[in-house]
Chain A
């Protein structure tokens, strides 16, 4: 599969959508009476969260494919999906913290179950790269990473349920989000932002896939043309390696 095609079109689409979404969020959407301007971070925070979680699940799906077919390309797809989602996840936690400060006055709260379960998921996926790095055998590394991706992917909904149950009846949800009922004027910027984040994720994913694929193909060509000794051996790395033939 060629990942490098349509990158320019995707990048432009992302830029346009995100700009439109942010513009709408700032100028069109209503200002929250209690929380003020900071509440608008909701338009970034929630879409980031949704896309990050979908990314983790996409990583898990590619993990299943890798285990079934043993084709290393699925391992690369899974790796890129997870590590992008982790980056987005850091963004979710930071924007979530800002939002908490705006809503409740504290930089972190345990009241919001979605944020809390996201923290747990983030902590879990943060072990993905160290685990990969500490297994030297490439094939084993890829296989174990896929098992991890599938397990963690299945864990996400389970964790969400458990944390929700733990909070229910003690701290009712204070504000409506995408699955609740959004007031009309908030819907457009929100969904546009969600689309923009999704486009951002897909674009970044394709960029990274194209980049990694190209460097492996280049390496394989070098080895074929100039012999095994022309390329330095790959040191220990957490990133997947693709076979050279």
Chain B
């Protein structure tokens, strides 16, 4: 059987922010079904990388291919196959949990029973009709996870997904966004051990530039620590 095409291909990706560089010359390949973990201090470009992959930002130069389609021109074709989870939950505080998910379901052409199923799985079914501004931070994060996987994306982009989640909640969302879900994932992390454990490839960013990119077994904790100095 032929190997499936790489889910993500980057060649010389560069993105500026004013005169500064947010990402400089990033090159890597993420095969389908594998996980890329991204390490780096704040401002290293991790969030920018995720936003470019999510088709929200255009690359200033270089090649970006997601699921075989070149961005930004073919971004419209893959948007529906990408799920993004960032620091902002992208939820309306005055709408209920269920209403928020139904809104996103309509925008993605997803049936409502998927909404109910996800609410059940993250343990929010009982509070689903309460407005989001009454939710605790952990509940908001769980709802955001539902939003990110609602349309069953092939590629998941996760910016510190377990923030605000207690161990019980983290267990609830694990099958949806964890390595066992079978999706291609890009995860940012500040935790060397945890990050390496759930990934296949690791990327270290510092000041927008690639410090290292290698399969997980070839990366030492010292290299990760060096990024933060």
Q: Do chains A and B touch in the complex (CB under 8 A)?
A: yes
A233 in the interface (beta carbon within 8 A): yes
A129 / chain B contacts, CB cutoff of 8 Å:
none
A243 in the interface (beta carbon within 8 A): yes
**Given A228-B20, A233-B19, A241-B18, 7 additional A-B pairs, CB 8 A:** A137-B17, A138-B18, A234-B18, A234-B19, A241-B19, A243-B19, A244-B19
A-B contact pairs, 7 of them (CB 8 A): A138-B18, A223-B19, A228-B20, A241-B18, A241-B19, A243-B16, A243-B19
Nearest opposing residue in chain B for A220, CB measure: B19
B17 / chain A contacts, CB cutoff of 8 Å:
137
Interface string of B13-43 (1 = CB under 8 A from A): 0001111100000000000000000000000
Q: Report which B residues bind A (CB closer than 8 A).
A: 16-20
Give complex CA distance A138, B20 in Å. Answer: 11
A223 / chain B contacts, CB cutoff of 8 Å:
19
Give complex CA distance A243, B20 in Å. Answer: 10
Chain A min CB distance to B56 (Å): 13
Interface size class of A (residues with CB under 8 A): under 10
Chain A min CB distance to B199 (Å): 32
Chain B min CB distance to A243 (Å): 7
Within 8 A of B (CB), among A191-245: 223, 228, 233-234, 241, 243-244
Nearest opposing residue in chain B for A245, CB measure: B16
Give complex CA distance A233, B18 in Å. Answer: 10
Chain A min CB distance to B16 (Å): 7
A228 / chain B contacts, CB cutoff of 8 Å:
20
**Top 9 A-B residue pairs of the complex, sorted by shortest distance between their CB atoms:** A138-B18, A244-B19, A234-B19, A243-B16, A241-B18, A241-B19, A234-B18, A233-B19, A137-B18
Give complex CA distance A133, B19 in Å. Answer: 17
Give complex CA distance A44, B211 in Å. Answer: 63
Chain B min CB distance to A72 (Å): 11
Residue from B16, B18, B19, B20 whose CB has the most chain A CB atoms within 10 Å: B19
Nearest opposing residue in chain B for A223, CB measure: B19
Give complex CA distance A241, B18 in Å. Answer: 8
B16 / chain A contacts, CB cutoff of 8 Å:
243
Give complex CA distance A241, B20 in Å. Answer: 12
Interface string of A166-200 (1 = CB under 8 A from B): 00000000000000000000000000000000000
Chain A min CB distance to B181 (Å): 35
Give complex CA distance A119, B18 in Å. Answer: 35
Residue from B16, B17, B18, B20 whose CB has the most chain A CB atoms within 10 Å: B18
Nearest opposing residue in chain B for A242, CB measure: B19
Give complex CA distance A138, B18 in Å. Answer: 6
B19 / chain A contacts, CB cutoff of 8 Å:
223, 233-234, 241, 243-244
Give complex CA distance A228, B20 in Å. Answer: 9
Give complex CA distance A98, B173 in Å. Answer: 74
Chain B min CB distance to A66 (Å): 14
Give complex CA distance A138, B16 in Å. Answer: 10
Give complex CA distance A84, B18 in Å. Answer: 25
